[in-house]
């Protein structure tokens, strides 16, 4: 993605355009599968895809944060 020099609003629009499908795919993982009960377990292939998409979105956001925030965020994930 070539976003060098894009103003914030254009970058935000690019993010929405490129990640809407990811958000639509990830939403059930935050809602339907969140609590045990009536919902079926997600397919293992869908889980792998969800993890990859979530990492892509996370990386997109982190690359736009100050270095101190990126380091602190990544350190927090490593210790979890």
- pLDDT of the chain along its 80 residues, tens only? 444 555 566 666 766 777 778 888 888 888 887 777 766 788 899 999 999 998 888 888 888 888 887 777 666 665 44
- Please state, in angstroms and rounded to a whole number, the distance separating the CA atoms of residues 58 and 43: 22
Instruction: Kindly report the pTM of this predicted structure.
Output: 0.61
DSSP code at position 66: -
- Please state, in angstroms and rounded to a whole number, the distance separating the CA atoms of residues 22 and 17: 10
Cβ atoms 53, 22 nearer than 8 A: yes
- pLDDT, position 1: 44
- pLDDT, position 29: 85
- pLDDT, position 2: 45
- pLDDT, position 8: 61
- pLDDT, position 75: 66
- pLDDT, position 31: 81
């Amino acid at each position: 993605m070539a976003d060098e020099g894009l103003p914030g609003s254009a970058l935000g629009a690019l993010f929405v355009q490129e990640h809407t499908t990811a958000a639509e795919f990830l939403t059930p993982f935050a809602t339907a599968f969140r609590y045990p009960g009536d919902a079926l377990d997600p397919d293992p292939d869908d889980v792998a895809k969800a993890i990859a998409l979530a990492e892509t979105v996370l990386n997109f956001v982190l690359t736009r944060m100050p270095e101190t925030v990126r380091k602190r965020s990544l350190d927090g994930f490593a210790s979890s």
